[in-house]
Amino acid sequence: MGDGFGYGRRSGKLAVVGLRENGVRMDPLFVDGAGGRVAYWVDGQGECVVLTHGATMDHGLFAPQTQELSTWYKVITWDVPAHGLSRPYDGFTLNGAADILISILDAEDVAGAHLVGQSMGGYISQIAAMEHPDRVKSITTVGSTPLKPSSFSKLDRALLKLTPMLLRLYPYDYLVKAIAHQVADSDGARSYALDTLTAFTKGEIASISSQVYSDAIANSTESALPVPAFVTFGENDRTGKVAEYSRRWAEMDGHPLYVVPDAAHNANMDNPADFNKALHTFLQSHTRGRAPGD
């Protein structure tokens, strides 16, 4: 993966940090959360788009979008608490992360933003929209599912509870390689996923997964999102029932749906060209002033 962004292996537990086109590292900004500092990055001007990564990834997941989107928008990427440069962090929850997302908007004097969330990031975006509808203009989900009780059958709930325990049973090297292979299809996206996963211990991966699953169920509601939504997932997404529930969500609530070709769970990184084009089209229909294609 090129596009002027760094995907090199890191030392210790530092997250991937995006590089500008000229190769100069973008210094992170920080806001204070209840459990520690949270890192974020800003680039571009215009209406604001916030990109939120999935569990055990970091803001580098959206490197293929940041450079292109910043031509037209003010783009904010961030490391969710307990991830990337937002470590260490005590007491990570999805609701706490949604509150910090709003805190970042406050710090940047942004009244409202378009939220794009991959997997866990889609949950955080939905919670932010439900709890702060006046601050969210639209939501785009990537390989995520709706926070609806109907998305979690009794069997689903049982399996979700077992998943963190099962993760602890696998040898570490096998575990991180298996996850990287599952969430991505392209060599570059798999390399990024593996590199980011190795910043975590097996216990941390299991703990984050457990928190995400329990918080997703705790926040489930049949209430429709109060903002426009765009549902996307990769045609080769092998993560749980993402494809099934995404299709059902779009059909039941009338949201536009886009299946990203030649892409798995991290669809925006597997196939950035097609994903970016679809995202541009959706954002253009919900923004004022200059937008892609103008």
Identify the CA nearest to 88 among candidates 31, 19, 13, 148. 13
Tokens 């939905």 correspond to 126
* Overall average pLDDT of the 133-158 stretch: 88
Catalogue all structural domains in the chain, each as residue range(s) with its CATH number.
29-284 (3.40.50.1820)
Identify the CA nearest to 237 among candidates 21, 28, 48, 54. 54
Q: Any idea how long the chain is?
A: 294
Identify the CA nearest to 199 among candidates 16, 60, 5. 16
The answer to whether residue 53 scores a pLDDT higher than 50 is yes
Distances (CA, A) of 53 to 61, 148, 268: 6, 21, 10
Tell me the per-residue pLDDT of 185-206, one tens digit each, with 9 for 90 and over.
999 999 999 999 999 999 999 9
Tokens 């049982």 correspond to 158
Query: Residue 240 has what pLDDT?
Result: 86
Tell me the per-residue pLDDT of 243-278, one tens digit each, with 9 for 90 and over.
999 999 999 999 999 999 999 999 999 999 999 999
pTM above threshold 0.85: yes
Distance of CA 125 to the CA centre of its chain: 9
The answer to whether residue 291 scores a pLDDT higher than 70 is no
CB atoms under 10 Å from CB of 233, counted, come to 30
Q: Which H or E run includes 191? A: helix 187-197
